[in-house]
């Protein structure tokens, strides 16, 4: 039954360390130009187009969402595929027609044990692509060359790249040659070639940051491969909202500017801070923690990435059963410059203190939890929303004339 259902839908699987949710959402927005609804499963939940679909967060719930999409006349699915799900055999059970690779940086080594197993797990998406399928790869990431080697005969390779990530391991069909971010969004100038030479030369995104140029190129390449008209794909990407919790502005007209971001890996944090720095006229503030009972070895690297900020407040993230003070201390060991560093373990107090202290010309980044609505503490989930907390702190500042 599952295999029959999977044949009814052309499924795009998206894997990588960072950027999966944005790429999934934008791919779905483009494919909706061909047929609706597009079934989606992401970190944010399941959706039919933009309509949330209430289902269990397991494989049975996934199948339920896919069936609902097919029953309503859908032809496509866009699915965020985690390394853990791929290691358990997802790609074998539900074969995808197109696999997208976003990037590979350190994460989830608590679950995989080694970087090699982490990559091997992600590679399962590409191992199981069928002849006639397509691998859409970020060819500016060296890991893409390894993924090419595991493809079955007859699987097409389409590459995309942004110069900001480095040299490409093979010529990309879509290359971002200029990326300009502002508080209004991101402008991407594209150099298309080969089979995708008909691609649009310009994209305007509502999301803020260079990394979203890569995600948009992946979605665009996939859309063109599946037959979406170039102008339709560009329009879909232009209208698609930024993903919640990904460089999300707390309030457009408020000062200081406050950004909530899901960045919870060293690479993602460094890129988020780089974007914030370019848009900042004053000092750059960072509120940061790290998850408990997860890859402990990346905490010092998170501290190193945090060094891009002028002021760092270390706090709790989702400490689970670990001591938040020990987590913060491990991050602190990695800070490599003269940034001002404080530890304030109560996350609400940490956010309030930074919003109160920052000047109007400053930028504040609250990193790690993004869209999450709870904080995991010693076996319980307490309601906590970074966006709501930041808005409350901003309202209090404005009330007292800050």
Q: What are phi and psi of 190, to 5 degrees?
A: -115, 140
Spell out the domains of the chain, with CATH numbers in brackets: 2-239 (3.40.1190.10), 248-399 (3.90.190.20)
Per-residue pLDDT tens for 107-134? 444 443 455 667 888 999 999 999 999 9
Stretch 5-19: mean pLDDT: 94
Report pLDDT for 113. 47
Percent of the chain with pLDDT strictly greater than 90 = 86
pLDDT at 204 over 60: yes
Query: For position 108, what pLDDT does the model report?
Result: 43
Q: What are phi and psi of 377, to 5 degrees?
A: -130, 110
CA gap 233, 31 in Å, rounded: 8
pLDDT at site 1: 61
Average pLDDT, the chain: 94
Q: How many helices (H) and strands (E) does the chain have?
A: 15, 19
State percent of the chain over pLDDT 70: 97
The answer to whether 200 and 230 are in contact (CB under 8 A) is: yes
In what order do the strands lie in the sheet containing 257-261?
A: 248-249, 257-261, 363-367, 284-288, 311-314, 340-343
More confident residue, 376 or 295: 376
Distance CA 254, CA 360 (A): 9
Locate all alpha helices (DSSP H) within 200-247, ordered by sequence. 211-225, 230-239
DSSP code of residue 130:
P
Q: Per-residue pLDDT tens for 250-280? A: 998 899 999 999 999 998 999 999 999 999 9
Q: What angle do CA 58, 316, 284 make, to 5 degrees?
A: 110
Provide DSSP, 93-119: HS--SEEEE----S--HHHHSSHHHHH
- pLDDT for 111 equals 46
Q: pLDDT per residue over 307-364, tens digit each?
A: 999 999 999 999 999 999 999 999 999 999 878 999 999 999 999 999 999 999 999 9
Q: Which of 164, 227, 195 is nearest to 33 (CA)?
A: 227
pLDDT over 90 (residue 245): yes
Per-residue pLDDT at 35 exceeds 90? yes
Q: What are phi and psi of 396, to 5 degrees?
A: -65, -40
């Amino acid at each position: 039954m599952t295999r029959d259902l999977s044949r009814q839908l052309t499924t795009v699987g998206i894997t990588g360390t960072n950027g999966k949710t944005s790429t999934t959402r934008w791919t779905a927005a483009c494919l909706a130009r061909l047929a609706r609804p597009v079934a989606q499963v992401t970190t944010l939940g399941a959706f039919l187009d933009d309509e949330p679909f209430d289902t269990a967060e397991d494989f049975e719930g996934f199948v339920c969402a896919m069936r609902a999409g097919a029953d309503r006349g859908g032809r496509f699915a866009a699915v965020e595929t985690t390394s853990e799900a791929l290691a358990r055999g997802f790609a074998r059970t539900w074969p995808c027609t197109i696999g997208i690779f976003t990037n590979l940086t350190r994460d989830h080594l608590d679950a995989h044990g080694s970087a090699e197993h982490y990559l091997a797990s992600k590679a399962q998406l590409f191992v199981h692509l069928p002849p006639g399928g397509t691998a859409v790869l970020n060819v500016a990431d060296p890991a893409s060359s390894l993924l090419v080697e595991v493809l079955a005969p007859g699987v097409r390779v389409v590459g995309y790249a942004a110069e900001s990530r480095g040299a490409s391991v093979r010529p990309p069909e879509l290359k971002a040659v200029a990326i300009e971010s502002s508080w209004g969004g991101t402008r991407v100038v594209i150099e298309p070639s080969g089979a995708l030479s008909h691609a649009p030369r310009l994209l305007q995104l509502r999301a803020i940051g260079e990394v979203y140029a890569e995600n948009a190129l992946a979605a665009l390449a996939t859309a063109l491969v599946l037959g979406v008209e170039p102008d339709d794909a560009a329009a879909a990407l232009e209208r698609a909202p930024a993903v919640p919790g990904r460089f999300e502005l707390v309030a457009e007209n408020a000062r200081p500017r406050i950004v909530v971001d899901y960045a919870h890996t060293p690479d993602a944090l460094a890129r988020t801070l780089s974007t914030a720095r370019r848009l900042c006229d004053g000092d750059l503030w960072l509120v940061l923690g790290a998850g408990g009972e997860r890859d402990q070895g990346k905490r010092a690297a998170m501290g190193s990435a945090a060094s891009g900020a002028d002021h760092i407040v270390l706090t709790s993230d989702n400490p689970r059963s670990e001591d938040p003070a020990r987590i913060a201390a491990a991050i602190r060991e990695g800070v490599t410059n003269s940034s001002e560093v404080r530890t304030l373990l109560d996350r609400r107090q940490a956010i309030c203190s930074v919003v109160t202290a920052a000047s109007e010309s400053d930028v504040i980044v609250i990193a790690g939890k993004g869209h999450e609505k709870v904080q995991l503490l010693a076996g319980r989930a307490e309601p906590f929303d970074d966006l709501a907390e930041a808005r409350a702190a901003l309202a209090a500042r404005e009330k007292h004339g800050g």
